[in-house]
Every structure is written in C-alpha cells, then in structure tokens.
C-alpha cells in the first residue's frame, strides 16, 4: 500500500546552495521515494510528492545546514478517491497513468467547500470534475492527489503557457457549477534535477 504525502519545504534564506543541499538530502532516504520533486518559481521553496517514510525524510531535511521548515499532508490517489467515493467508473479512474513531463508546469491546490448545497450535490459536481480531470490525467497532462480527510486536491498541470492555465482554471466543471465554493492556489514550478 502506498504512503503518499505532499511535502512543502521552505528553505528560508539559504538560497540556491540550501535548495541543492535539501534536494540532495531528500534523494538519500531509501525508505521514501520522491514521486515528483519541484521548485516553486521565484520562491525558496520545494514541493515534493513522496511515497514512503516521511518521518525519515523530514529528519534528513532537518539535518541539512539549511534546516528547512517542513509541512506534510497525507495523500491518497485521486483515482482511488474518484472510484470509491464519487463512483467514477474504472475505465476512467484507472490506477495507472502516464507521468506528467514538460517545461511549463503549474502546481495547483484546490480547497472545496459546499455552502448552500448538500453533500450529494457536492459529490455530483465533484464527479463531473473528476471525470474531466481524470481524462486529462490519462493523457499525461495532469497528476492528481487527494488530501486524506479533507476536501482538498493537489494537481500538477502541464500547459503551453500561463494564459492557457488561466483559461483552464475558469473552464473546470467544478468552477462552473460551484466556483464560489472553490479556492485555487496556483504556483509555477520546475522539476528538480
């Protein structure tokens, strides 16, 4: 069974050398595999999606000279959530998908509320969103992760330019149905070498 986490590391004022040291430390933890490793553009922060022992990863980061501050949230696969909670079919919510690769990447954090609607209405809207998002994931355009126990989703999106990302964010099915109940935080990212 996977033990997925999103790990947000603020490297503070240690600059490029601190980022490099922190990134090297994350790769030296055999019990915790980095699924995606990214640097947030214009910030001294790293974001990782990892699978494994996050405590050993955190310890390795804290033992670096940069002593980055670390925040972790447990994740589950989005396809598993879509199948078991939303009732999305196995043909769309496949467990395997192509890896997201590319030069123009965005890290999105969705927080979903449902004021003024029932949970059934929320799940109906979310199912439409999941079917659309998983079809893009199955083409290698998105990687999707659901935060355990919360109405939050992380996505890594590959697009051609920032205008396309902006257009997509307003065309999402969940934004059309309940946009006033969805907050999106978005950062441009680059993969770490």
pLDDT tens-digit series, residues 106-154: 999 999 999 999 999 999 999 999 999 999 999 999 999 999 999 999 9
Domain 4-76 part of CATH 3.30.2130.10: yes
Q: Which residues pair with 96 in a beta bridge?
A: none
12 pLDDT exceeds 90?
Answer: no
86 pLDDT exceeds 70?
Answer: yes
pTM here? 0.93
Main-chain dihedrals φ then ψ at residue 73, nearest 5 degrees:
-135, 135
- DSSP classification of residue 99: P
Residue range(s) of every CATH 3.30.2130.10 domain in the chain = 4-76
* Cβ pair 113, 120 in contact under 8 A: no
Please tell me which residue, 14 or 16, carries the higher pLDDT value. 16
**Residues 172, 175, 176, CA angle at the centre, nearest 5°?**
90
Residue 2: what pLDDT? 83
Segment 173-182 mean pLDDT: 90
HEC per residue, 66-92: CCCEEEEEEEEEHHHHHHHHHCCCCCC
Looking at domain 77-187, its CATH architecture is: 2-Layer Sandwich (3.30)
Segment 173-192 mean pLDDT: 92
Q: Which residues pair with 74 in a beta bridge?
A: 5
Mean pLDDT of the chain, nearest integer: 92
Radius of gyration over every alpha carbon of the chain, rounded to an integer in angstroms: 17
């Amino acid at each position: 069974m996977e033990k997925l986490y999103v790990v947000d590391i603020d490297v503070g004022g240690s600059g490029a050398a601190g980022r490099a040291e922190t990134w090297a430390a994350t790769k030296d933890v055999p019990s915790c595999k980095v699924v995606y490793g990214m640097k947030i553009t214009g910030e001294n922060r790293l974001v990782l999606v990892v699978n494994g022992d996050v405590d050993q990863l955190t310890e390795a980061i804290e033992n670096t000279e940069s002593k980055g501050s670390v925040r972790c949230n447990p994740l589950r696969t989005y396809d598993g959530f879509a199948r078991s909670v939303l009732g999305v079919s196995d043909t769309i919510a496949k467990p395997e998908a192509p890896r997201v690769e590319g030069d123009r990447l965005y890290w999105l954090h969705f927080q979903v509320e449902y004021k003024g609607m029932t949970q059934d209405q929320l799940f109906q809207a979310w199912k439409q969103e999941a079917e659309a998002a998983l079809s893009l994931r199955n083409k290698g355009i998105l990687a999707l992760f659901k935060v355990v126990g919360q109405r939050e989703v992380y996505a890594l999106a590959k697009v051609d330019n920032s205008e396309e990302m902006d257009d997509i964010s307003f065309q999402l099915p969940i934004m059309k149905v309940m946009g006033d109940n969805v907050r999106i935080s978005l950062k441009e990212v680059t993969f770490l070498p």
